[in-house]
Structure 1
Amino acid sequence: MRHSLVLAAPGVLLVPLADVHAPALAALVDEPMWRGMSSPVPRTPDDVLDLIAAADADPGRYAFAVVEESSGAVVGSTSLYDVTLTAARAEIGFTYYARRVWGTTVNPACKLALFRQGFEDWGLARVALRADTANARSIGAILRLGATAEGVLRSHRVRPDGSRGDTAYFSVLADEWPAVRAGLEQRVGLA
Structure 2
Amino acid sequence: MSDFKTGSPDTLAFLRKRRSHPAITMSEPGPDDDEVRDLLTIAARVPDHGKLAPWRFILFRPDDGQKIGAWLAQRYGELNGPLDDDQKNKELTRFTRAPLIIGVVSQAAEHPKIPVWEQQLSAGAVCMNLVTAAAAAGYASQWLTEWYTFDERAAAYLGARPGERFAGFIQIGTATQPPVERPRPDLDDLISNWTETD
TM-score, reference length from structure 1: 0.25
Task: Pick the structure with more helix per residue.
Answer: 2
Higher RCO (C-alpha 8 Å, min separation 6)? 2
TM-score, reference length from structure 2: 0.25
Q: Look at both structures and tell me which one has the larger radius of gyration over its CA atoms.
A: 2
Task: Pick the structure with more strand per residue.
Answer: 1
